[in-house]
A and B are shown apart, each in its own frame.
Chain A
Amino acid sequence: MNRREFLAYCAATGVGVTLAGAGWHYFIAASNAVAMDDAASYAERLAHLQTFIDDPDEARVLALLPAYESAAAIGEHVDGGASDEALVLRRLKGKLIAAPTDSGADGYEALRARLDAHVREDFTADRVVLLDGWLLSETSIDLCLLAAVVEASTRSRWSRV
């Protein structure tokens, strides 16, 4: 390798390392931004729900739904919004926020992880509901039922976050 080739090699390596570093930085920043956006979005939804839902745990559970209207529509499809709100809520609280160490201050990530785990367990244990052919987990259906009840009872105040 002569001097000119060596310099060209060094320059190319430098450009490559710089581009790779910039790419990695962008990737990490983008990943963090998505995680932060999820949490921020959850907090925004929760704040909105707390303005008209008295039970703070009910608001926390429902804020897990990024698409209230769709969930409520599915719940409505299941039983016309006639579910026993207290019963459904008790089931969901038991699954999502009744852990002994739960101080009521668990954040979005913890609740989301529990929800995902319960949905997974539902499918594993065949705790599923067939809704017009759609194979859905019981926990998801409970969320939808709760959304439908709240939607029906607070229709006038309900609006998109």
Chain B
Amino acid sequence: MSAFLDARGVEAGTLITTDICVIGAGAAGITIARDLAGSRNDVYVVESGDLELEAATQELAGGENVGRDYASLITTRLRSFGGTTNHWAGWCAPLDALDFEHRDWVPESGWPIGLADLLPYYERAQRSNELAAFEYGVDAWASRERPEIALEEDFESIVWQFSPPTRYGQVYRDELERAPNVHVLLNANLTGITTTDAADHVEEVTLTTLAGTSFRLAARYFVIACGGIENARVLLLANDVERAGLGNRHDLVGRYFMEHPHVTTSTCVFVQPEQSVDLYASRSPRRVFGGLGAVTRVVDRLRREVSFLPPLVPVRAGLRVSGAAQRRDGILNAVAVLGDTTAEDRLTADVQQMISVSMHPERDPVRPYDVRLQLEQAPNPDSRVTLGDDRDALGQRTTRLDWRLNELDERTMVQATWSLGRALGLSHQGRLRLKEWVMEHAGSWEGMYGGSHHMGTTRMSQDPTRGVVDSDCRVHGVGNLYVAGSSVFPTGGCVNPTLTLTALAHRLADHLRDRASAA
């Protein structure tokens, strides 16, 4: 049986050797370790934090925001076993085929792999995230009680499945403990990467505890799986040989930082006020159990104990801009999610009644919904992660985040809102009310926030001048160094990244297993 080791018990100067070293124990790192469990390769998973979150370690995630307003870097990601899955919300959906393609109207778009390449791994990611079958068509989830909102043009319904959410550190701890070839090293912070003189091969890494004890870990292969911001920082800090940072000969590491801007741009009413839009406005289990959260929790617990029971998976639908509309309007991907609103006035009631197909519209309750857009962000080299001037408790330079949006992002937000209003009207489904700031000061992005989806800082491309990693997630020019996580996304689509980053982690694990075996 393998062990969970505490780095605080390792003697200074010790050299540990292994086959594969995975740095970071979040969704990506744990997925890779699970897939390699039982293989002939010895695997070390290195985690900065402990099994539970500790303030001193979490402080290492600090940094400064110098761009758009953004959540504190300390709260937007977590440094403990399980990583940021310890506080994620569980929204899961795959990217669609167009998200992978090069789009003429989106500079620097296009993945070197396609949806078909990732489909088998999406299936595996479903299980890792405790989801139902890989079924994201609305037909599979709509019902008479929870019907589809069928828009004739420009928008199509997509579905999110909700992970419980899977806390990777809790759910997969036993599995990793049982794996004879996997070792988890806690409280070990990466403070150095030693390469060959040509910086084309990583020889070992230096790990340091908060108390200052350092030791080394040598491996045949290294995977950096520290999160969408930290992956870039780790490479930038590894500047002993390559002064600009490891894998950064073309000044790409840290650039192209992307988020999913979330912003409420409108409200809407429907022609059938009594018609349920629950499929779009709420998660399903609350409906299944009539709001009895305790029942949901009991059933969920039972499901965990009795493995043959099908997962109880909540779903929620959104209205996504179709590929044809993206092409026609030259915009990015975006999805609209309905939510409760308190924005109700006399004019809202009048519009609802005026368009209503009800026999007695005056008797229907006025029921407007907020329309929140979740937008793809354009790849933008000026939106970036760099190293700040401050230093953390281990003496390493902290993160400086400069998140920027550009004209294409703004145009997508405005156009998607207008298109949704048009589509609701011509489909006889409802009417939309644009927020005043959308019409007059769209650049203010009023009330916008990021989804804590950090992407793009070590983007994937087969061309070393356009990407940090290749299609195998291997750092260009460094033979045994890989990056896992959403930092490799060249574009981020409009849905939450966890399912895709988990699928990529499964794919990378297969690659590492094959490569290590061949070697």
Question: Which residues of chain A have a CB within 8 Å of any CB of chain B?
Answer: 37-38, 41, 65-67, 69-71, 73-74, 77, 116, 119-120, 122-124, 126, 128, 130-137, 140, 144
Contact = CB atoms under 8 A, between A and B. Distances in A.
Contacts of B439: 130, 133
Interface of B: 266, 346-347, 349-356, 358-362, 418, 421-423, 425-426, 428, 431-436, 439
A41 B362 CA distance: 14
A138 to B, nearest CB: 11
Contact of B433 (A38, A65, A135): A135
Nearest to A132: B347
Contact of B354 (A123, A124, A133, A140): A140
11 contacts: A70-B350, A70-B351, A70-B361, A74-B354, A123-B422, A123-B426, A126-B422, A131-B347, A135-B421, A135-B432, A135-B433
Contact of A74 (B347, B356, B358, B434): B347
Contact of A67 (B361, B422, B423, B425): B361
A120 B351 contact: no
B435 A74 contact: no
Contacts of B353: 66-67, 70
A38 B350 CA distance: 20
Majority secondary structure, A binding face = helix
Nearest to A147: B354
Contact of B425 (A71, A74, A137): A137
Contacts of B352: 70
Contacts of A69: 362
B422 A128 contact: yes
B354 A144 contact: yes
A140 B346 CA distance: 18
Given A67-B361, A70-B349, A123-B426, A130 B434 contact: yes
B358 A134 contact: no
A117 B360 CA distance: 23
Contact of A134 (B347, B418, B426): B347
B448 to A, nearest CB: 18
Nearest to B152: A120
B354 A65 contact: yes
A77 B348 CA distance: 12
A41 B359 contact: yes
Contacts of A144: 354
Given A74-B347, A130-B439, A136 B356 contact: no
B348 to A, nearest CB: 8
A106 to B, nearest CB: 19
Contact of A73 (B350, B421, B423): B350
Nearest to B360: A66
